[in-house]
């Protein structure tokens, strides 16, 4: 019963800004794209 509640709570949790930024950077295709994305986040 508690496992189901924990799983539901994880699904409803909103990702932090740092987690969203990391996911965005991880989608970069090459180092130039990564550099561009990194500069965009730093602004």
pLDDT-based confidence at residue 28 (cuts at 50, 70, 90): very high
Q: Tell me if 39 is assigned to some domain.
A: yes
Pair of tokens at residue 8: 């539901």
| Total structural domains within the chain | 1
Confidence at residue 40, expressed as pLDDT on a 0 to 100 scale? 94
Q: Tell me if 36 is assigned to some domain.
A: yes
Instruction: Compute the 3-state secondary structure of the chain and give helix, strand, coil in percent, each to the nearest 5.
Output: 75, 0, 25
Domain that holds residue 21: 16-43
Q: Is the pLDDT of residue 43 over 90?
A: no
Q: Tell me if 31 is assigned to some domain.
A: yes
Rounded CA separation 6/23 (Å): 23
- Cα distances from 36 to residues 6, 13, 25, 29, 43, in angstroms, run 38, 29, 10, 11, 11
Q: Tell me if 4 is assigned to some domain.
A: no
Confidence at residue 25, expressed as pLDDT on a 0 to 100 scale? 97
Q: Tell me if 34 is assigned to some domain.
A: yes
Phi and psi angles of residue 32, each rounded to the nearest 5 degrees, phi first: -70, -40
Q: Tell me if 6 is assigned to some domain.
A: no
């Amino acid at each position: 019963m508690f496992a189901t509640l924990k799983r539901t709570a994880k699904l409803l949790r909103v990702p932090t800004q740092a987690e969203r930024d990391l996911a965005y950077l991880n989608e970069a295709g090459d180092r130039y794209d990564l550099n561009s994305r990194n500069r965009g986040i730093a602004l």
